[in-house]
Structures are given as C-alpha cells and as structure tokens.
Structure 1
Amino acid sequence: MEDFSEYVGLSRPTVSKYFNDPGSVRRKTRERIEAAIKDSGFRPNIFAVNLNRRRTNILGIIVPNSTDPFYMALTRRVELIANEAGFLAFVLSSDGNPQIEERAIETFKSMNVAGAIIAPLGAQSHHEKLLSLGASIPLIYVDSPLNETSPFVGTNNRQSFHLIVDYLCRSGEPPCYLGMPPVNTNATTRELAYVEAMQRLKMEPVVLPIEKVETWDFEKFGYDEMLKFLKNGKKLPTNTVLCANDRVAFGAISAAYHAGLKIGRDADCDLRIAGHDDHPLSRYACPPITTVAQNYNEIGRLAMALLMHKLGESSHATAPLPAGERILLNAEIMLRESA
C-alpha cells in the first residue's frame, strides 16, 4: 500500500479510504487511483487488510459436511446475502471431525473474522473453543444449537414431528421411530418430539433400539440398523417407520428393499417409511420419501439477518427479524409415495 501510494502520488490514508469505500473520495481522485490500478495491476491483500482492521468484512461459516445438499443450499444462501451486504463469506467444513472443527475455529480467529454462522458437531464439538470464540465475535448456530442459550435459527422439531406423526397415524398404522446417531442435539430433540407427538395423540410411542455410534454416515447407519430388525424374517412392531431424517430413511429403504419388502402406501405394500428434512434428493428416492420440509433458504436468510443485526448492519435485512435470538421455523409436510 505504501508503494502504491507513492506510485499514484497520493497519501496512504487517501488510498486506504478509496479501497474501503470508492465513493468516499472525490471523483478526480477516484479516477486517478483507478487509472493507477489499471497501469500497475495493484490489488490490496484482503487478508492483510482485514488483520489490520478493528472489525473485518470477512464472515466465517462452519458446516459438518460441505458436500451434503442441505449444507450446500444453506451456505449458498448465506454467501449470496453476505456478498450483497459487502462481506466475504469463508466456508470451512469440519467433515464430522471435532479436531477439524477446532482447527476451523482457530483459523477464523487468526483471520479476525467479524462473525460466523456455525452448524456445530454438537456432542463432539469443542464447546469451550466455541464459547471462547462467541465471547469475542457474534456467532449464530444453525441446524442444531450448541446449548440452550446460544443464538440459533432452525426448524421447530415439536411442530414438524407432530405434523408427520399426525398424518401417519391418520393414514395407516402408527409409526415406530428409527433414530439417528447421537452426533448433535437433533438426535435427542427429535426423539423427544416423536414421543411427545405420539402421546398427544393418545398413542404408545415405540422407539426402536439402535447402536449408539457417533457417525455422520447416516445412510449406512439407517441401512445397518434397519437390516438388524428385518433379517431372519423378523417383523417390526408396526408397518410404519418414521426416521429421524431423510438420510437415515435412504438407508432404511435400501435395507427393506434388500430384505424383499415393498415400500409405499398402496394396499400391496409391506412397509411405509417416512423421513424428516426434505433432503434435496428425497423426491428422487425409490420410492420418493414422504417427509417434512426444512426451509433452507429461510434458515439462511434469518441466520444472516440475526448476524447482521449483531454486527450493527441491520440496514441489510430484507425483512423484519423475529424477536429473540432463537428462531424456530415451522415445517411443511411433503406427501410422496413412501408413506
């Protein structure tokens, strides 16, 4: 920057002012700087510039799996909003590994990010590291909260499970429940939501016993667990299975297929299987999965709106922000052939 200031024949504060906000300098000065940029090819190092600022224009995003369509859709929404607000969104994946999540946290600290949106690993997360980061910059959690007080935007599991359980009970045998690995708080909250929904309908909840393994390979988990219940001609307590999420349902449907069962809601079908989340690929499963839809776009928008509010950038909000720092969105049922 010193060399470029000398090259263009202006003071460094003037040049810095231009790079922070081109419209803040006079037109002739701006034209002079832009001509010098074109001639010299100079570009400021964005990371060096941000390290020297009291507050940067970099936002961090941590997700458990960058290739999962749910997180891809969520981060795409966040990146678009960040860009429109003049921020650079930097996405890191923890790959379901607490050590990699910790490294991502340390990376964001070293980058001096202004704030971050995090889908935590939950039970495996380094809570102290995240709490320490949250003490210095605003953090918004999505998908599952870190604890009961952390700022969070996600789906109202009580509403969504009541919706799907009510439909399954009205349309056939009441569902038993196939849970998910205990990798984040969704494992507990969704099981409790299923039990509560069944009890509200005066039905006996049936939670299938599962292996307590901490794995993010939900499809394999659903396949292995369902196969345990179906092998050797065993019968499930009911012919309807509600899975904790669609990825578990993918595996459960595959296991049922290999056990020779026909999945669906027709009279000649052996088993109904439903899910939760409306994973982008659930409509293309065989058969397409009946599920409840999380609104990825709205989760992303509200998470960014809450983060912008905490950063004092509320002018970038596209709609009024709900009160409080824990925003739960209602889900919509998606009726398809699997149940």
Structure 2
Amino acid sequence: MRPTMKDVASAAGVALKTVSRVVNGEPGVHPGTAERVRAAIDLLGYSRNESASVLRRGRTSTVGLVIEDVADPFYAALSRAVEDVTTGYGCLLLSGSSSEEPARERELVRTFCARRVDGLIVVPAGDDHSYLRPELDAGTPAVFVDRPPGPGVDVDTVLSDNAGGAGLAARHLVARGHSRIAFLGDEPSIFTASRRLHGYRAALGHLYDERLVAMRAPSLEGVRADLDRLLALDRPPTALFTGNGRLTVTALRVLGGRPAPALVGFDDFELADLLVPGVTVVAQDPAGMGRVAAELLFRRLHGDTGPSEHPLLPVRLIPRGSGELPP
C-alpha cells in the first residue's frame, strides 16, 4: 500500500500539519524536526499526491512551451533556459514544436490548455491568436518570445533587436568598402525576417538595390538558385548578409570551392569560429530570451497584474574574418 502523510507523521512522531509544512516547503518547522520528517519520508518512500494538490491549489505546476523546432540550436538553447527557470520554481515544462505551421501551433496550445497548464510561452508560427482569447480571459497567462502575437492580443513579449542587428551587419560591411551587399532572408511573412530586411535596408540607404535581395524558406536548392542569380548580375555583390543560421550554413555549402564574397550571418552557430576564415556573425542571446520570458511568466503567476511588458534584448557583432574581407 502506498504510504500516506499520516504514516510519515506517525514514523517521525510529529503532527500531520508538521509533515504538510515540510512537504510543501512552508516555514515554521524546527530544522531538527524537519530533518526527522525527511528521514521518515525517505524510509517509507512517500511521495505526495500531485492530483490532490492540484485540486486544492487549482494549479498543476506545469508550463507549456511552443517553439518552432526543438532540433534548431537557437530554440534548443531558448527551451533549455525556460526549463531551468521552470524547474527552479518547482514546475514541470511541457514543450512541442510547431514546425512553422499555424495549425500545429494552435493544436499544441489547445492540448496544453486541455491539460490545465498554469501558463504558456509561445514562439508563434502564425499571426492570428484570437484562439487564445478564451484562455487569457480565464486567467491563463501567456508570454510570447522571438516574435509578437497577432493583432488584438496584448501580452508580455520578449524580442531580440532584429532590425538593429541587421543594421550592424550592413554598416560593418560598408565600413570595409562594400557597396554591393546582398541579403538572403527567410520568408518575408516571418516577423524576424521582415525586421532584419528593414534594418538592412535602412542601414544601406542609397546603396540599397532590391535586385540584391532574395527571401524564401531555407533550402539547398533555393539558396543555390539565389546565389547563382546574384553572382551572375552585371554588378554582382561583393558581400553577403544571411538572415539566419540555417541560411548562413547553407550558403557556405553552396559557396564551397568558389571565390567567396565577404559574409556576415545573423545568429551564431557551432564551429563558426573554426572555419577559415571564421564566420562573422550578429549573435543573439536565445538563453537570455528564454530566461526573461520564463521569469515574466512566473511574475504573472505570482500575481503581477501590471501592463504587458515588451523587453527588446540587444545583439552583438562578432568579427571573425569572413565579414572583414575586402571587395
């Protein structure tokens, strides 16, 4: 038979309320008494009934996280940071990948809510989040990260300075003498891709040439076709700015064996510093984004009802050689 809290109280020679305080981490128990209770818990193999606890507190001690792809190093770092914060608050993290599909995002969020998660952290795939309104109205807090929610949903949102980072990359290349700077970006409908295009265009000013821009989902075939077109122009680019880590790695594969243009990529990636030359990048802080988002969520769970917050995390340029090549 599974041991009960009453069994622990009997074994430790204390009142039932004392065991409850120790199990729930409440103050007011003498250290020696608490140690005796924990020894009885270990001896009996007692574990508290979380289902009963949920019924008493109205909480499940779980958080739902929706990201784009757990295999992507950026989202893996973000997810781990969220998990570390969640665990620190004594909660369990449930997570799933949307694969950049709005329907999958909605399905995951609804599944988490059906399991009565206490709160949600969402990297959105779509731009319609009206489906979340019933959950928000019912008091389930949500924090969006990396991209904002769609119109009509005002919740805490943690973003990187995408436009500022793209401007850093473009100005860095211009300062090295480049005036023909191409941009390979992701789908223009994606918030981060559009913001990076905006920052690149604003930084170039009169040097901007729309013929040097290509935006589509990253693929080997697509990047090869775009680079073939760009390098065949009458005035081809002497520098290339890639809008995310997958595009940077794919462009490096395509350019292998060719005379390479100067290159700056948005997002750092593993082994970027070991290539020859090392790849100059604009680095985000995905772990920082995850920590800030999770801490915001737990502030809401602990009663903060202030206006929604929209922190913008800084990025930094890391010169390694590829972005410093002359025209």
* Shorter-chain TM-score tier: 0.7 to 0.9
- Between the aligned residues of both structures, percent identity stands at 28
Structure 1 contact 58–114 (Cα < 8 Å) conserved: yes
- Matched residue SS, 1:21: coil
* Mapped partners of 1:65, 1:279: distance in 2: 16
Residue 164 (structure 2) pairs with residue 159 (structure 1): yes
Q: Does 1:177 align with 2:183?
A: yes
Change (3 A) 1:334 1:252: same
Q: Secondary structure at the match of 2:78?
A: helix
How far did 1:15 drift?
Answer: 5.0
Deviation per CA, 1:31-85: give whole Å up to 9, x if none: 5643443343231344663365223432222211112211122222222233333
Aligned counterpart for 1:297 among listed residues 287, 291, 295:
287
Aligned residue number for residue 246 of structure 2: 247
- Tell me if 1:310 matches 2:300: yes
Rounded to whole Å, the distance in 2 between the matches of 1:233 and 1:115 is 49
Q: 2-side partners of 1:104 and 1:12: how far apart? A: 40
Note closer, same or farther for the CA distance 1:233–1:296 as it changes in structure 2 (3 Å cut).
closer
Match of 1:110 among 94, 114, 131: 114
Counterpart mapping for 1:1-339 below 5 A: 4-8=4-8, 16-21=20-25, 23-25=27-29, 30=34, 33-46=37-50, 49-50=53-54, 52-123=56-127, 127-135=129-137, 136-147=139-150, 149-174=154-179, 175-182=181-188, 184-199=190-205, 202-206=206-210, 208=212, 210=214, 212=216, 215=217, 218=218, 220=219, 224-230=222-228, 234-235=232-233, 237-257=236-256, 260-263=257-260, 271-285=261-275, 287-312=277-302, 325-339=309-323
In structure 2, what residue type is equivalent to 1:86? G
Contact 1:117/1:141 (<8 A) preserved: yes
1:292 Cα deviation from its structure 2 partner = 0.8
Q: CA deviation at 1:18?
A: 3.8
**Contact residue 64 and residue 119 of structure 2 kept, 8 A:** yes
SS of residue in 2 equivalent to 1:326? coil
Q: Which amino acid aligns with 1:275?
A: G
Matching residue's letter, 1:170 = A
> Relative to structure 1, is the Cα distance of residues 5 and 120 closer, same or farther in structure 2, using a 3 angstrom cutoff?
same
Match of 1:320 in 2: none
Structure 1 residues 232-265: Cα deviation after superposition (integer angstroms, max 9, x where no partner): 97247422121111221111221122xx4122xx
SS in 2 for 1:50: helix
Cα contact 1:50–1:111 (8 A) shared by 2: no
Task: Give the letter for the 1:225 counterpart.
Answer: V
Instruction: For residue 122 of structure 1, give the secondary structure of its aligned residue in structure 2.
Output: coil
3-state SS of paired residue (2:175) = helix
Are 2:183 and 2:214, in contact at CA under 8 Å, matched by a contact in 1? Answer: no
What residue identity is the alignment partner of 1:4?
T
Q: Residues of 2 paired with 1:207 and 1:139: CA distance?
A: 40
1:229/1:102 CA distance change after superposition, 3 Å: same
For the residue of structure 1 that corresponds to 2:198, the secondary structure is helix
Shift of 1:326: 0.9
Is the contact between residue 190 and residue 244 of structure 1 (CA under 8 Å) also seen in structure 2?
A: yes
Instruction: Identify if the C-alpha distance between structure 1 residues 232 and 101 changes in structure 2 by more than 3 Å, giving closer, same or farther.
Output: closer
**Matches of 1:110 and 1:13, distance apart in 2:** 33
AA aligned opposite 1:176: A
Aligned AA for 1:185?
F
> How many pairs were matched up?
312
CA–CA distance in structure 2, aligned partners of residues 137 and 45 of structure 1: 23
Q: Give me the whole-angstrom Cα distance separating, in 1, the residues matched to 2:48 and 2:278.
A: 50
Structure 1: any 5+ residue segments left out of the alignment? 264-270, 315-322
Please report the TM-score for the alignment, with normalisation by the length of structure 1.
0.77
Gaps of 5+ in 2: none
* Greater RCO (Cα-Cα under 8 Å, separation 6 or more): 2
Answer whether contact 1:59 1:115 (CA < 8 A) is retained: yes
Secondary structure class of the residue paired with 1:292? strand
For 1:275, what is the secondary structure of its paired residue? strand
